[in-house]
Amino acid sequence: MSDQRQWFAGVDWGSQSHCVFLADDEGRKVGQRDFKHGGEGLAAMADWLMSAAGAAEPGHILVAIEVPHGPVVEMLVERGFKVHAINPKQMDRFRDRFTMSGAKDDSRDAEVLASCLRTDPRCALTILDGRDLAFTAHATATIVEEPMSVSDRVAAVRLDVLAIQDHGQPRFTIEAGIRWRWTDAQAERDDAAIRAALVTLAALAE
């Protein structure tokens, strides 16, 4: 795990303006602002994120947004922020943490985006680069060990890739740029044991 401090931002985008919520790595609100859509507004958004957070570099700020493409995403990626796409259906579930009505509200949605990226990073897809390509890997799956000897809740599965289909869209990867927090010391030890066992199984399969 990295000791580098991180900030979490949520961007509720719109055709005319974008609402941005920024929190620190403990979930405390740093600030919230609206920015007009367009070159000047997007540049101001990037500048505000850096100044409000006081981050040493853009990569220390993780940004959540519901769309995986478009001018906002492109600007943030080009500036070096770690941009993450959140599925709108997942947003509906996370929104229930803040209100029972589930109704959309721009300022609250920006906060929900930042919150779910901080607390539930597995729900997020990291946008690597808008110029990269998406692909689907077609493969056969073989269960290597179920359950694994180090954990009765985890199975080891080997994927043998048969073909790769190119889609010509932005490429995503799960969990990149996230600093994980374990619930306790035992959970951290269990995670390390599982990762070590997977490495051993992979070596035996070669």
pLDDT at 123 over 80: no
Q: What is the mean pLDDT of residues 111-128?
A: 80
Q: How many residues does this entry show for the chain?
A: 206
pLDDT, tens only, 127-149: 655 555 455 556 677 788 888 88
Check residue 5 and give its pLDDT.
86
Please report, as a single letter, which amino acid is at residue 52.
Answer: A
pLDDT, tens only, 155-201: 887 777 776 655 555 555 544 444 556 677 888 888 888 888 888 88
3-class secondary-structure state, position 82: strand
- CB within 8 Å of 81: residues ≥ 6 apart: 9, 46, 49, 58, 59, 61, 62, 63
Please report, as a single letter, which amino acid is at residue 27.
Answer: G
Q: Which two tokens stand for residue 91?
A: 């947003």
Lowest-pLDDT range of 9-13, 72-76, 137-141, 173-177: 173-177
Q: At the topology level of CATH, where does 7-129 sit? A: Nucleotidyltransferase; domain 5 (3.30.420)
Q: Which two tokens stand for residue 148?
A: 């694994």
CA torsion sign for 78, 122, 89, 173 is positive
- What is the residue extent of each domain of the chain? 7-129, 136-166+182-205
Strand (E) positions, 16-102?
17-24, 29-36, 61-65, 82-86
Helix axes 88-95, 106-119, angle to 10 degrees: 100
Cα–Cα distance list, 32 to 9, 69, 121 (Å): 9, 22, 21
Contact at 8 Å (CB) between 53 and 7? yes
Check residue 37 and give its pLDDT.
93
Contact at 8 Å (CB) between 11 and 19? yes
CB count, 10 Å around CB of 195? Answer: 10
Q: What is the DSSP letter of 71?
A: H
Q: Which two tokens stand for residue 61?
A: 């700020």
Contact at 8 Å (CB) between 99 and 111? no
